[in-house]
Amino acid sequence: MYRRIPGQWISVFAAVVLVGGASQLAWAHAILMESSPAANSTVNGPDLNFNLRFNVRVDGSRSKLRLVAADGSLTNVVIAKQSNPDTLQATVTALKAGAYKLQWNVLASDGHMSRGEIPFTVK
């Protein structure tokens, strides 16, 4: 003997599967969890260490960091060898006082590129 499942339960089940699957996909993309310097912070220069931690593993060899100065000039920042799979680290020297943005572009463990920027000021 077979029992029929009401249509409303099938709809609820489908919605749960879709929402659960979508949240897993979103979580797999690289999301910046914390950074040093923090966004919109003021830091002492002229030398500065960058530390970016993401929610997933990122491929340091295929990721890029660029420093944008207030005048719009761009500097590629060399990423250090990864000590943790979810973290990127770099050091820049001889920064002048002023506003900067650190642009990041990372390859996440799901194969997707994510990008963002961290504005900060050197005093």
Pairing of strands 32-36, 48-54: antiparallel
In a domain, 88, yes or no: yes
If you average pLDDT over residues 10-34, what whole number do you get?
58
In a domain, 54, yes or no: yes
In a domain, 113, yes or no: yes
If you average pLDDT over residues 4-27, what whole number do you get?
49
If you average pLDDT over residues 78-103, what whole number do you get?
97
pLDDT confidence band for 1 (50 / 70 / 90): low
Contact of 76 with 51, CB cutoff 8 Å: no
In a domain, 2, yes or no: no
Q: What is the model's pLDDT at position 28?
A: 63
Domain of 76, in residue numbers:
7-122
Overall domain count for the chain: 1
Burial class (CB in 10 A: 0-12, 13-18, 19+), 4: exposed
What is the domain-level CATH number for residue 74?
2.60.40.1220
Average pLDDT of the residues of the chain: 86
Q: What is the model's pLDDT at position 29?
A: 87
In a domain, 1, yes or no: no
Give the global pTM. Answer: 0.76
pLDDT at residue 36 is higher than 50: yes
Burial class (CB in 10 A: 0-12, 13-18, 19+), 25: exposed
